A = this chain, B = another copy of it.
Amino acid sequence: MGNDKLKNIALKDIQIKDSFWNKYIDLVDDVILPYQWELINDRVEDAEKSYCIRNLRIAAKKEEGEHGGMVFQDTDVAKWLEAVGYSLAKKKNAELEKIADEAIDLIADAQCPDGYFNTYFTITGKPRWSNLFEGHELYTAGHLIEAAVSYYEATGKKKILEVSCKFADNIYDVFGKEEGKCHGYPGHPEIELALVKLYKVTGEKKYLELADYFVRERGKKPCYFLGEEGMKNGDYFFPEFADFDMDYAQADKPIKEQTKAEGHAVRAVYLYSAMADLAAEYHDEELLHQCEELWENIVQRKMYITGSIGSASYGERFTTDYDLPNNTNYSESCAAIGLAMFSNRMFQITKDGKYMDIVEKALYNTLLSGIAMDGRHFFYVNPLEVVPEVAEHNPTMRHVKTTRQKWFGVACCPTNIARTLASLGNYMYAVSENTLYSNLFINSEIHAELSNGTVEISIDADYPKSGEVSYKVTQEKACEFTLAIRKPEYSANTTVKVNGVETEYTLDKGYIYLNRVWEPQDEVIVVFDVEFRFVHCNPRVRDNIGKIALMKGPWVYCLEEIDNGEYLNSIKVDENCKVQALYDENLLCGTMCAVFSGERIDYDKAGNTLYENSKPSYKPVTLKAIPYCEWNNRGKGEMIVWMREA
């Protein structure tokens, strides 16, 4: 591992104009950020109360009242602010900047003189740091820091950064290995990766050291949470936490001994993201190897085909290898985002395309299934099979919502989706000294500063509707640099043409490296194989035995009741059937549908007794599937990803 961890291209230097992604990205500025501002101000009817701004006003003594909402309620305004920062980085917006500055003023006013910031503990007067296991103070601090870095980088305004540094200094004084300091660490990791960001933007080494402390102290024996100062013995904010063992919070063993992904899925991937950051900063090969092991454990044992994670609702957590039920799973939107964050970091350290394959999977499927195409409704939980009648009457599935919701009491997902969409560019490209990495094939124009000079490229793509991606050099001067194009693992046949001439290429860890002196108007055309394909699951996943899923490029497809009637799991499909691609420009703002044949049980001929029935008859049927990410945009109904194989 060298010193050459890849870097992002500044968001302002990436202009996205994509037929698929702009359906969502445009919502961020036009709908989501203004709407979420209304939400956190409690001005949206019929939505769950947020209390966010009100809590800030109360803590700032501008209003009287009690704290509302969860102990970590401040994170909603922080994640909103972080998204605003990304948005402003891309495009000035005076009105948005004005309300963001108002929110920042409120945050600064709500900050305690010693730097501490948390409206819950300030308003209630409960003792600070008294319940690290579930009090979420350090988690909340982490989101504030991430917001500050984003907003500062976008606007150059220092106020929120100074608030965050003052808070981070306060935390540094409280926590650490040294005698007299608290030897605790957060129940919910988040601050660790935020502190690395803060270190990078300020150059202040102690923030990196604090992140390192929080990560490496974790899980040491005896466990802090079970000790006298720890919080696993007392009053609970969340009664169910009494049930949870230390593996829930990745604190059951020292961090260096953790090689299998365990516990609460979001906590896990936020922690692993910080571990990757620290591995890079400290050139810690051992820690990096451990991150690879954890990542492999997730991706080859514990991840849904949609890139979501968290097989169980209770504990919102990982369970055991190959346990991937399709209808009782949690698959939180935030956890898929966290997996993308972790994977992106691993790619930037290792330059291995396998990590970006998973980023692509998570973003094209679960990130987007988390948000309705109106930008105003969200899923927290992303099942792969839903029967509304059952989900609404069987409490085993009471975490599953059968339509997206306006807001949630715990609203981590909507703001997380917003900040991820707003910063999509960070996943699309990366640069090393003189190499430009192209990871996601999204129609865009970029400007990048490489060691040999300025590079400008126009990427023309309609991916994964089409597998053809064109890179046109648009800069004015010739420049020698390397263009590294990710070849997705799924693409069986991939061709590369440079200026119309098919070019041999070799792959290095999933990348096609093209080095030359690029002249203006040079063009690379890569064609990936995005034909529809039926995918088998590892048969150790019991829930998918005898089933297949349909994919096109990174898109996982699903059947919906509105297109295919009810009893979707009575349908059988032959993996050798021909799948017709049918682009419907009127459906869901333009969607690539799949049409294919199958058979289904003929319920008209089914008996009425419960048991001792005759074998059911099947009849042929024409099926229509749409990308999973766009399901549930046409009302409530059944949905299924894994279909029975004929």
Whether A603 touches B312, Cβ cut-off 8 Å, given contacts A394-B323, A610-B303, is no
Q: Which of A296-324 contact B (CB under 8 A)?
A: 299-301, 303, 305, 311-315, 317, 319-320, 323
Does A227 count as interface, using CB distance less than 8 angstroms? no
Q: How many copies does the complex hold?
A: 2
A100-B612 Cα distance, complex, nearest whole Å: 45
Chain A 308-349 near chain B by CB (<8 Å), digits 1 or 0: 000111110101100101001000000000000000000000
**B535 contacts A612, C-beta separation under 8 Å:** yes
How far, in Å, is A14 (CB) from chain B's closest CB? Answer: 30
* Of A121-129, A362-370, A577-585, A613-621, the one touching chain B: A613-621
Is A611 in contact with B537, judged by CB distance below 8 angstroms?
yes
Q: How far is the CA of A323 from the CA of B612 in the complex (A)?
A: 17
Residues in B whose Cβ lies below 8 Å from that of A542: 387, 390, 567, 569-570
A393 at the A/B interface (Cβ < 8 Å)?
yes
The winner among A303, A313, A540 for most chain B CB atoms within 10 A is A540
Bound-state Cα–Cα, A390 to B109, Å: 50
A 534-588 contacts with B by CB, 8 A? 535-542, 545-546, 549, 567, 569-570, 572, 575
A545 to B572, CA, bound (A): 11
CB pair A396–B394 under 8 Å, yes or no, is no
Closest to A398 in B: B314
Contact yes or no, B311 A394, CB < 8 A: yes
> Within the assembled complex, what's the spacing in Å between the Cα atoms of A546 and B603?
14
Tell which of A315, A317, A398, A538 has the most Cβ of chain B within 10 Å.
A538
- CB pair A612–B490 under 8 Å, yes or no, is yes
Determine if B539 and A323 form an interchain contact, defined as CB atoms under 8 angstroms apart.
Answer: no
Asked whether, in the complex, the Cβ of A616 is within 8 Å of the Cβ of B312, the reply is: no
> CB distance B613 to A312 under 8 Å?
no
Question: Do A609 and B539 touch (CB < 8 A)?
Answer: no
| Contact call B394/A606, Cβ cutoff below 8 A | no
A397 to chain B, nearest CB (A): 9
In angstroms, Cα B314 to Cα A336, docked, is 27
Taking the nearest CB of chain B, how far is it from the CB of A335, in angstroms?
16
Q: A319-B390, A320-B390, A608-B300 are in contact. Are A613 and B538 (CB under 8 A)?
A: yes
Q: Select A393's contact among B319, B395, B489, beta carbons within 8 Å.
A: B319
Report if A567-B540 is in contact (Cβ < 8 Å); known contacts: A389-B320, A395-B312.
Answer: yes
Q: What chain B residues lie within 8 Å of A77 (beta carbons)?
A: none
Residues of chain B within 8 A (CB-CB) of A317 are 395
Q: Does A644 contact B (CB under 8 A)?
A: yes
Cα–Cα distance between A542 and B639 once the two chains are bound (Å): 13
Q: Find A611's partner among B305, B325, B603 (CB 8 Å cutoff).
A: B305
Interface membership of A607, Cβ < 8 A: yes
- Interface residue ranges of A367-422 to B (CB < 8 Å): 387, 389-390, 392-396, 398
Please measure, in the bound complex, the distance between the C-alpha atom of A320 and the C-alpha atom of B397, giving whole angstroms. Answer: 13
A601 within 8 A of B: yes
Are B320 and A394 touching (Cβ within 8 A)? Answer: yes
In Å, the complex CA distance between A169 and B196 comes to 74
- Report A311 CB to chain B, min CB distance, Å: 6
A239 located at the interface, meaning its Cβ lies under 8 Å from any Cβ of chain B in the complex: yes
Interface size bucket, A side? 35 or more
Q: Please state if A299 and B610 are interface contacts (CB–CB under 8 Å).
A: yes
Contacts of A396 in B (CB 8 A): 312-314, 325, 328, 396
Least CB distance from A613 to B in Å reads 4
| Residues of chain B contacted by A607 (CB below 8 angstroms) | 538
- How distant is A585 from chain B, measured CB to nearest CB, in Å? 30
CB–CB A541/B610 < 8 A: yes
Task: Determine if A301 and B567 form an interchain contact, defined as CB atoms under 8 angstroms apart.
Answer: no
Are A570 and B539 in contact (CB-based, < 8 A)?
Answer: yes
Report A584 CB to chain B, min CB distance, Å: 27
A320 touches B393 (CB 8 A): yes
Taking the nearest CB of chain B, how far is it from the CB of A265, in angstroms?
Answer: 13
Restricting to A181-232, which residues have a CB under 8 Å from any CB of B?
Answer: none
From A387, A536, A572, name the one whose CB has the most chain B CB atoms within 10 angstroms. Answer: A536
Contact of A569 among B312, B545, B609 (CB under 8 A): B545
Given the contacts A323-B394, A615-B575, A644-B546, A537 and B610 also touching, CB distance less than 8 Å = yes
Please tell me which one of the listed residues B323, B546, B611 contacts residue A390 in the complex, with CB atoms under 8 A apart.
Answer: B323
CA–CA, A616 to B544, complex, Å?
A: 12
Shortest C-beta distance, A160 to chain B (Å), equals 39
Tell me which residues across on chain B come within 8 A of A606, comparing CB atoms.
538-540
A227-283, CB < 8 A from B: 239, 243
The smallest C-beta distance from A41 to any residue of chain B, in angstroms, reads: 30
Q: Is the CB of A545 within 8 A of B395?
A: no
Nearest chain B CB to A636's CB is how many angstroms away?
15
- Judging by beta carbons under 8 Å apart, are A394 and B312 in contact? yes
Q: Is A601 touching B394 in the complex (CB atoms < 8 A)?
A: no
- Cα distance, A573 to B239, chains bound together (Å): 46
Q: Are B301 and A393 in contact (CB under 8 A)?
A: no
Neighbouring B residues of A537 by C-beta, 8 Å = 610-611, 613
Report if A601-B535 is in contact (Cβ < 8 Å); known contacts: A394-B320, A396-B314, A610-B301.
no
24 residue pairs from A and B, CB less than 8 Å apart: A299-B610, A300-B610, A301-B610, A314-B395, A315-B395, A319-B395, A320-B390, A320-B394, A325-B394, A325-B396, A489-B612, A536-B611, A536-B615, A538-B606, A538-B607, A538-B608, A538-B610, A539-B606, A542-B567, A542-B570, A545-B569, A545-B570, A546-B572, A575-B615
Beyond A545-B601, A546-B572, 16 additional contacts (C-beta under 8 Å) are: A305-B611, A314-B396, A317-B395, A323-B389, A323-B393, A328-B328, A489-B612, A538-B607, A539-B567, A539-B570, A540-B603, A542-B567, A545-B616, A546-B644, A549-B611, A575-B615
A interface residues (Cβ-Cβ under 8 A, vs B): 239, 243, 299-301, 303, 305, 311-315, 317, 319-320, 323, 325, 328, 387, 389-390, 392-396, 398, 489-490, 535-542, 545-546, 549, 567, 569-570, 572, 575, 601, 603, 606-616, 644-645
A-B interface, 10 closest residue pairs, ranked by CB to CB distance from nearest: A314-B395, A320-B393, A319-B394, A536-B613, A539-B616, A319-B393, A539-B601, A300-B610, A312-B394, A323-B390
